[in-house]
């Protein structure tokens, strides 16, 4: 029996471009079939600029395909073990990569839950050509809804049947809305944070727009690619996230 891919969350996302088209954006567990696209963006020098991995390693015809295939297989199996029985203790102290999917794999959100299960680190990576569309922000938002247990588990059957007199466009939108939401129980961590290279203004802006506060800068706290790097610390509490989503009913 094959190991399934689990959908964590789904959203109808309006692309931040001139057309403003709406796409179905998924946050799901990795699949072994994601290896070619995963390798492609990890091999891209611009994508890796502020990341710890070496793009040449993934670009190499010797190490790249094998490493990407191994990574995607391991994450596929790990994700399945976590979500099959929603065993979130397995998340503690180990990075989980979740695939961002726009009718195909376009990036990932990385999540690390602390050993005590009360805090989480988050980060996101997009493939070249997929940036500037709001995908990273939408994907991290879905991840935070899950990590903070901010929304009930979605059930498409609970949505009302669309108006039979609705236009085809209205029916299509109703079908999209019926699939919106988080599909697995939440983790309910107390705090989420992100460490962002101080030079990476795009990532800093992403977390600021999501409501994270910049708590400070860890000076020369990381060493990679032959240099010491400053890390900006962005963070948000579960109570703050809930207030942001439900200002009138937050506890």
Instruction: Give the pLDDT of residue 69.
Output: 98
Instruction: Give the pLDDT of residue 237.
Output: 98
Instruction: Give the pLDDT of residue 164.
Output: 62
- Based on the number of CB atoms within 10 Å of its own CB, is 173 exposed (0-12), middle (13-18) or buried (19 or more)? middle
Domain assignment present for 76? yes
This prediction's pTM? 0.86
Per-residue pLDDT reduced to its tens digit, 30-59: 999 999 999 999 999 999 999 999 999 999
Q: What is the CA radius of gyration of the chain?
A: 19
Instruction: Give the pLDDT of residue 8.
Output: 94
Domain assignment present for 219? yes
Edge-first strand order for the sheet with 96-101 is 181-182, 7-14, 22-29, 96-101, 105-113, 119-126, 191-197, 227-237, 213-224
The ranges of the chain with pLDDT < 70 are 1, 16-18, 154-164, 168-180, 248-251
Domain assignment present for 250? no
Domain assignment present for 166? no
Domain assignment present for 164? no
Domain assignment present for 15? yes
DSSP track, 161-226: PPPTTS-HHHHHHHHHHHT-EE-S-----SEEEEEEETT-HHHHHHHHHTT-EEEEEEEEEEEETT
Domain assignment present for 176? no
Q: Total structural domains in the chain?
A: 1
Domain that holds residue 195: 7-156+183-245
The domain that contains 127 carries what CATH number? 3.40.630.30
- Residue 40 host element (H or E): helix 35-42
Instruction: Give the pLDDT of residue 157.
Output: 38
Instruction: Give the pLDDT of residue 160.
Output: 44
Instruction: Give the pLDDT of residue 166.
Output: 72
Residue among 75, 3, 86, 12 at smallest CA distance from 42: 75
Domain assignment present for 251? no
Per-residue pLDDT reduced to its tens digit, 222-247: 998 889 999 999 999 999 999 987 77
């Amino acid at each position: 029996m094959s190991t399934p891919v689990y959908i964590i969350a789904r959203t109808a996302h309006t692309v931040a471009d001139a057309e403003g088209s709406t796409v179905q954006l998924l946050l799901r567990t990795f699949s072994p079939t994601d290896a070619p696209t995963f390798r492609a963006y990890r091999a891209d020098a611009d994508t890796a600029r502020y990341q710890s991995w070496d793009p040449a390693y993934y670009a190499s015809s010797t190490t790249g395909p094998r490493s990407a295939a191994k990574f995607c297989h391991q994450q596929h199996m790990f994700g399945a073990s976590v979500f099959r029985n929603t065993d979130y203790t397995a998340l503690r102290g180990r990075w989980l990569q979740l695939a961002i999917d726009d009718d195909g794999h376009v990036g990932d959100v990385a999540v690390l839950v602390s050993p005590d299960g009360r805090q989480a680190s988050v980060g996101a990576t997009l493939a070249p050509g997929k940036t500037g569309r709001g995908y990273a922000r939408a994907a991290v938002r879905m991840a935070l809804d899950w990590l903070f247990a901010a929304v009930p588990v979605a059930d498409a059957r609970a949505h009302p049947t669309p108006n039979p007199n609705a236009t085809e466009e209205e029916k299509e939108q109703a079908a999209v809305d019926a699939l919106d939401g988080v599909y697995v129980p939440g983790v309910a961590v107390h705090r989420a944070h992100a460490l962002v290279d101080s030079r990476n203004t795009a990532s800093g802006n992403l977390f600021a727009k999501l409501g994270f506060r910049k708590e400070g800068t860890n000076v020369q706290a990381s060493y990679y690619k032959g240099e010491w790097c400053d890390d900006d610390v962005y963070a948000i509490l579960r109570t703050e996230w809930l207030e942001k989503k439900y200002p009138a009913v937050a506890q």
